[in-house]
Amino acid sequence: MSRADTDPSQTGLRMHRLIAELLPIPRSITGDGLRQTLARLRPLLPDLRIHEVPSGTQVFDWIVPDEWNLRDAWIKGPDGRTVVALRDSSLHVLNYSLPIRRTLPLSELRPHLHTLPDRPGWIPYRTSYYEPAWGFCLAHERLADLPEGDYEVCIDSTLAPGSLTYGELFIPGRQPDEVLISCHICHPALANDNLSGVALVTELARHLAGQGTRQLSYRFLLVPGTIGAIAWLARNPSAWSRIRHGLVVACVGDPGPFHYKRTRQGNADIDRAVIAALRHRPEGLVIRDFDPFGFDERQYNSPGINLMVGRLTRTPDGEYPEYHTSADNLALVRPEALAGSLSAYIDVFDALEANRRYLNLQPRCEPQLGRRGLYHSLGGAPSSSELKRAMLWLLNLSDGTHDLLAIALRSDLSPRLLDTAARLLVEHGLLAAVDPP
């Protein structure tokens, strides 16, 4: 697995190109579109493992549904011309539609046509995973132009026993403690809600794998929403105890501020790491408490599992007008926003990696830093005043009970700066690590 390009502009463009390539694939919670998407990621992530869970498998209170595949779909008007076609957008078909081939009047067709009257130029994204139905989605202005008459409709789909597909990548560290990074991979033709997360997870995995062995282990999941996370959890109960931190990734390509949704616990290490690492980001950071609605964090935080998994997005789901519509397109996701989101995730995980407790070996009054040369900044290091503040905070709070995240939150200094200062103080015999590195 090759190391990711560290140039942010090139990284952002590479992520944007991947989104563009994956956008037309007609994905759902099962089927060949999912497999095609994961197959495209394999050259970038050679260690990615593909899993299949047979239809009918019981996963807690859920059952893996029959597999759905879509080959073609269209509506032809009274004059024989095509008015809606799958080839124009995979959003045009109600996801998980039953197959149909009929001719019927517009009055009978209308209940099966889904639009957004308040956004007349956009196509909505609609699904019917667990209720048998068929239908089409189209722009409301297109519906308004349809004349009365008979329409020929075709949805060439199959719904039959098969399997659910998901991808999993594990990067071992020196410690067995794991960080879980999860994104949903099932939505068709939605750039920000879905594919921005896929692109970030891909680039993040390449970055971490290219750094050599880290302290923590990292487990990446690319799963169909809800049922995929539930299936993984049901199949891997032995892994739960090793997952000490985690983030759900989605909606990371728009230029909005970062939004972090806490874990169910509310003050887990991942909660503190996100706040400490990102609160001074120029994009801004909004912190929200946990609620049992949203993406797959609600599965990982369910009371019988209770993993410490938060969710880090830019503008959250449902809070930007383009959400679940055809306007969630390549124009909405920006290369610079994707690169900024990647760097934010890296900052959070670096903060977790560096987090440990120290003990001040000279606790009686402030040690003389000047004669140890610790008032001088290093080449490329933070300014002397910042470094001095960091050292003084560390010396004051390193009593064996405060970890670096606690000191970062108390001092309003970055975890990276405190880690740099702590290493200097250890080197000069003023601090000793209580926790093993």
On the question of pLDDT at 377 being above 60, the answer is no
β-partners of residue 82 are: 76
Number of domain units in the chain: 3
Going by pLDDT thresholds of 50, 70 and 90, the confidence category of residue 370 is confident
Q: Looking at the domain assignment, is residue 1 inside a domain? A: no
Please report the pLDDT score of residue 374 as a whole number.
85
Phi-psi map region of 373: left, alpha, beta (phi>0 left; psi -120 to 50 alpha) = left
Q: What is the mean pLDDT of residues 249-260?
A: 98
Instruction: Please tell me whether residues 280 and 340 are part of one structural domain.
Output: yes
> Of 354, 384, 410, which residue constitutes the final position of a domain?
354
Q: How far is CA 333 from its chain centroid?
A: 14
Q: Looking at the domain assignment, is residue 2 inside a domain? A: no
Task: Kindly give, in sequence order, each residue whose CB lies less than 8 Å from that of residue 41, ignoring residues fewer than 6 positions away.
Answer: 48, 167, 198, 202, 222
Going by pLDDT thresholds of 50, 70 and 90, the confidence category of residue 213 is confident
Please report the pLDDT score of residue 381 as a whole number.
53
Q: Looking at the domain assignment, is residue 315 inside a domain? A: yes
Please tell me the distance from the alpha carbon of residue 125 to that of residue 184, in angstroms, as a whole number: 15
Instruction: Please tell me whether residues 255 and 346 are part of one structural domain.
Output: yes
Q: Looking at the domain assignment, is residue 402 inside a domain? A: yes
Instruction: Please tell me whether residues 288 and 275 are part of one structural domain.
Output: yes
Please tell me the distance from the alpha carbon of residue 169 to that of residue 222, in angstroms, as a whole number: 9
Instruction: Please tell me whether residues 152 and 205 are part of one structural domain.
Output: no
CATH number of the domain encompassing residue 203: 3.40.630.10
CATH number of the domain encompassing residue 88: 3.50.30.90
What are the start-end ranges of the E strands in 92-161?
100-105, 113-114, 136-137, 150-160
And the tokens for 417?
A: 């700066």
Q: Looking at the domain assignment, is residue 230 inside a domain? A: yes
Please report the pLDDT score of residue 3 as a whole number.
40
Query: Rounded to two decimals, what is the model's pTM?
Result: 0.95
On the question of pLDDT at 1 being above 50, the answer is no
**213: number of Cβ within 10 Å:** 10
* Residue position matching structure tokens 């998901």: 166
pLDDT digits (tens, 9 = 90+) for 155-195: 999 999 999 999 999 999 999 999 999 999 999 999 999 99
On the question of pLDDT at 5 being above 80, the answer is no
Instruction: Please tell me whether residues 51 and 183 are part of one structural domain.
Output: yes
**428: number of Cβ within 10 Å:** 15
Task: Kindly give, in sequence order, each residue whose CB lies less than 8 Å from that of residue 90, ignoring residues fewer than 6 positions away.
Answer: 24, 25, 26, 27, 70, 188, 189
Q: Looking at the domain assignment, is residue 33 inside a domain? A: yes
Please report the pLDDT score of residue 400 as a whole number.
95
Q: Burial level of 38, CB count in 10 A (0-12/13-18/19+)?
A: buried
Please tell me the distance from the alpha carbon of residue 226 to that of residue 293, in angstroms, as a whole number: 11
3-state secondary structure of 105: strand
Going by pLDDT thresholds of 50, 70 and 90, the confidence category of residue 61 is very high
Task: Kindly give, in sequence order, each residue whose CB lies less than 8 Å from that of residue 34, ignoring residues fewer than 6 positions away.
Answer: 27, 28, 165, 166, 185, 186, 224
Please tell me the distance from the alpha carbon of residue 127 to that of residue 140, in angstroms, as a whole number: 18
Instruction: Please tell me whether residues 61 and 204 are part of one structural domain.
Output: yes
> Of 354, 388, 423, which residue constitutes the final position of a domain?
354
Instruction: Please tell me whether residues 414 and 350 are part of one structural domain.
Output: no
Query: What percent of the chain is predicted at pLDDT more than 90?
Result: 92
On the question of pLDDT at 233 being above 70, the answer is yes
And the tokens for 192?
A: 């920000």
Mean pLDDT of the chain: 95
Please report the pLDDT score of residue 384 as a whole number.
73
Q: Looking at the domain assignment, is residue 3 inside a domain? A: no
Q: How far is CA 406 from its chain centroid?
A: 26
Instruction: Please tell me whether residues 250 and 308 are part of one structural domain.
Output: yes
Q: Looking at the domain assignment, is residue 321 inside a domain? A: yes
CATH number of the domain encompassing residue 371: 1.10.10.10
Please tell me the distance from the alpha carbon of residue 29 to that of residue 58, in angstroms, as a whole number: 16
| Alpha-helix runs per DSSP H in 256-383 | 269-278, 297-300, 335-354
> Of 297, 320, 354, which residue constitutes the final position of a domain?
354
Please tell me the distance from the alpha carbon of residue 391 to that of residue 401, in angstroms, as a whole number: 17
Instruction: Please tell me whether residues 264 and 317 are part of one structural domain.
Output: yes
The residue range of the domain holding 400 is: 357-433
Nearest to 310 by CA among 357, 246, 244: 246
pLDDT digits (tens, 9 = 90+) for 390-436: 999 999 999 999 999 999 999 999 999 999 999 999 999 999 999 86
Instruction: Please tell me whether residues 85 and 102 are part of one structural domain.
Output: yes
Instruction: Please tell me whether residues 414 and 322 are part of one structural domain.
Output: no
Please tell me the distance from the alpha carbon of residue 11 to that of residue 343, in angstroms, as a whole number: 10
Instruction: Please tell me whether residues 79 and 122 are part of one structural domain.
Output: yes
